[in-house]
Amino acid sequence: MRVLLVEDDNRVVEALVEALHRAHLTVRRVGTAAEALTAFHDADLVLLDMGLPDQDGLALCRQIRAASEVPIIAVTARREEAALVSALRAGVDDYVVKPYSPAVLLARIEAVMRRFGHAPVTPVAEVGDLRLDHQAKEAFLAGRNLGLTRKEFELLSMLAQARGECVTREALMGGIWDTAWVGASRTLDVHVSSLRAKLGQPGLVQTVRGVGYRVAVEEAQGARTGTGS
């Protein structure tokens, strides 16, 4: 499921993206209303900060609502009744008042998506010839079951959800081992190595030096032709 995160505060974004990835949601983040207006068409849900630098959140919400039925959850620092009433009238489906916990936000997302008939997690995700079955926790490359362990699957899943964007080491360690302890860093490297070996295409999971890892989407798309002929 694709979430468009409209939020200008970088400090908020970092923790939030991590929590959303952990819930196997694909996140695209924009920091302005202008960008949001071009990006919402591709989203299954919009998480909208009402305090944006270039436009009033309510006006943005009305503009999106005029063009689309996409579920919108407003994130606002204002808890007065009048502000919340205005947000609902502008077309938001739910709202969360800052500061909030990621767990509460995820529960709200799930509730809204249930109302819209979406499963909270895409049961099967595909990136090129890479196919991830989140219910069975199995991954396939060009039809071949990779036989991943649970941790290897979670690692590949987080990378695949980012669709070619880099996922930081901290986000991976936090998402998979629920920790940022130093020892997990080595554990992460070991799992990346074993995952690459099972993929049989070492270039599919690329190292972004000093930052983290990414899936080479272009290689995932070439997997079938690469091994088939």
Residues that bind Ca ion (CB under 5 A): 8, 49, 51
**Minimum distance from CB of 53 to Ca ion (Å)?**
7
CB of 29 within 8 A of CB of 5? yes
Nearer to Ca ion, 51 or 120 (CB): 51
**Minimum distance from CB of 13 to Ca ion (Å)?**
10
Element (H, E) at 42: none
**Minimum distance from CB of 224 to Ca ion (Å)?**
44
Amino acid at 88: L
**Minimum distance from CB of 51 to Ca ion (Å)?**
4
DSSP 46-105: EEEESB-SSSBHHHHHHHHHHH----EEEEES---HHHHHHHHHTT-SEEEESS--HHHH
* Total length of the chain: 229
Nearer to Ca ion, 49 or 93 (CB): 49
Amino acid at 113: M
Nearer to Ca ion, 8 or 165 (CB): 8
Q: Which residue is nearest to Ca ion (CB)?
A: 51
Nearer to Ca ion, 60 or 192 (CB): 60
